[in-house]
Amino acid sequence: MRVPLPYAAYPLLAAVVAACSDGAAPGSSSTGDAGARSTVSSDAPRVFAEVGSEPTISIGGADAVGPAQLYGVVGVHMDGAGRIWVADAQSAELRIFGSDGSHWKTRGGRGEGPREFTNIQLLGAIAGDSVMTSNGADGRVTLFDPEGELAYTERVSGNGGLMPFFQDVFADGALLARVPRILRAARLAPGQVLTDSVELVRVDRATSSVEPAAAAGGPLWIWTGQTQAPIPFTARAAVDVVGNEVHVASGPEFHVQVFRDGMLRETYGVDRAPRPVRASDIDAYRSFVEAYVPEELRADHLAAMEHDLRPNVLPGYDRILAAGDGHVWAQIYEADLFADHSWDVFDRTRELVGQVEVPGGFGLWAVGRDAVVGVWIDSLGVEHVRSYPLIRR
């Protein structure tokens, strides 16, 4: 569900630890030694749908004023009525636009009151198309009903004083959260390599109980003495909630793991060989660092490109997105942000049903029956929330 902003979570910082595979034959299903079902589809070229060349809705841009002026979009949701909900970080507002792109309502704003945010995040929708948001690391979550009105706001801390970072919501209203990693800089030596991981938990809002939800490999970092510089082509896993399941992808293989009740239950994906890192990928990473990383940190990030632990294969998937019709979309990693991206689309049986090409610079947030919605970044780096027609084949 989350689409990265240029520096915060750009897909160049993608996973290095592979999702598990039991080696099932292409197009077959089997049960592995641990009892997890595995479905691996053949890599036969087929088109699931096409994205229209022109947007039907475009919100934002250099000339936008009022609610249409966006800066730092951290969440986009499309509800059943076709309205588009946008979480804007700069204003700390939740802005709602009609199915024609016209502004409907604005909620929130910067502050510490029950209807305000200091660090707004859009988590997703729950039963009845109500939309849940969070206020970053303070544990406060807020629910808006389908009409954009405040339903409730509450603080969820987790048992034992745990303060995880909420990042998604299950269909039953429980929260998916990432457990923060705490490092003491005084104990780290310059040049030390740090192995990260992604530990995800399920937090019950009513009881604040915390249960394991999923886990995956994370990025590799170099402690430079002043910051953590990522080793290129390593990163956090791609994660999304599908109903009450957690789907996770990490590493160079084109595989997705499915966790239910904290246990690995299934693996699905495509029989496709990992792709070697090319000179063009290295050039794209360098261009990204030079464009987005602060100047005082740039040398450390560029030096990490030559590290011995830098992978020689590209990540497989760097995004997972649950579509409203039950399909799951998995984005194939591309080092160039402005290149076209391909998404593998899987049906409810975990079989690959085809691919969709998405135009470069467009980060996909939501998939409806006849439209896709996301954030397009123009050549000036300005954000536009756009909806494109989705033409199914």
- Percent helix, strand, coil in the chain, to 5, is 10, 45, 45
Q: For position 353, what pLDDT does the model report?
A: 97
Instruction: Reduce the DSSP state of residue 189 to 3 states and report it.
Output: coil
The reported pLDDT for the residue numbered 159 is: 62
What residues pair up with 329 in beta bridges, in sequence order?
321, 345
pLDDT digits (tens, 9 = 90+) for 208-256: 888 999 998 888 999 998 888 999 998 779 999 999 999 999 999 999 9
CATH class of 28-392: mainly beta
For the cut 50, the answer to whether the pLDDT of residue 386 exceeds it is yes
Contacts 24+ apart (CB under 8 A), 152-159: 153/114, 153/115, 154/205, 156/203, 156/205, 156/208, 157/208, 158/201, 158/203, 158/208, 158/209, 158/210, 159/208, 159/209, 159/210
Q: What is the mean pLDDT of residues 31-48?
A: 82
Q: What pLDDT score was predicted for residue 1? A: 42
Q: Which amino acid is it at 13? A: L
- Reported as a pLDDT band with limits 50, 70 and 90, residue 158 is low
Residue 16, pLDDT above cutoff 60: no
Per-residue pLDDT, 162: 55
Q: What angle do CA 123, 125, 127 make, to 5 degrees?
A: 140
In this prediction, residues 142-171 reach a mean pLDDT of 85
Please list, in sequence order, all residues whose beta carbon lies within 8 angstroms of the beta carbon of residue 192, skipping any fewer than 6 positions away.
Answer: 222, 223
**Predicted structure pTM score:** 0.89
Span 366-379, mean pLDDT?
93
The overall average pLDDT reported for the chain is: 87
The residue-averaged pLDDT of 4-16 equals 34
Q: Which residue has the tokens 């909900």?
A: 85
Distance CA 16, CA 31 (A): 25
Tell me what pLDDT residue 34 has: 58
Tokens of 137: 């690391």
Average pLDDT over residues 32-46: 83
Helix (H) or strand (E) holding 290: helix 279-292
Residue in the structure block whose two tokens are 């204003």: 91
Is the pLDDT at 83 greater than 80? The verdict is: yes
Cα pseudo-dihedral 228, 234, 236, 240, rounded to 10: 160
Average pLDDT of the segment spanning 53-80: 95
Residue-wise pLDDT for 171-204, tens only, equals 999 999 988 777 777 888 999 999 888 889 999 9
Which residues on neighbouring strands pair with residue 117, listed in sequence order? 110
Taking residues 359-367, report their average pLDDT.
Answer: 93
Per-residue tokens: 368: 């409806």
182 or 93, higher pLDDT: 93
Q: What is the C-alpha separation between 222 and 322, in angstroms, rounded?
A: 33
Mean pLDDT, residues 354-375 taken together: 95
Give 34: exposed, middle or buried? Use CB within 10 Å, 0-12, 13-18, 19+.
exposed
DSSP string, 228-264: EEEPTT--PPEEEEETTEEEEE-SSS-EEEEEETTEE
- In the predicted structure, residue 27 carries a pLDDT above the cut 70: no
pLDDT, tens digit, 9 for 90 and up, residues 129-141 = 899 999 977 889 9
SS3 at position 269: strand
What average pLDDT does this structure show over 147-172? 83
> Do 3 and 374 touch, CB atoms closer than 8 A?
yes
CA distance 258 to 242: 9
Give how far Cα 42 sits from Cα of 62, 190, 256, 281, Å.
Answer: 44, 45, 15, 26
Backbone angles phi, psi at 377, to 5 degrees: -105, 120
What percent of the chain shows pLDDT beyond 70?
90
Q: Are 237 and 216 spatial neighbours (Cβ–Cβ below 8 Å)?
A: yes
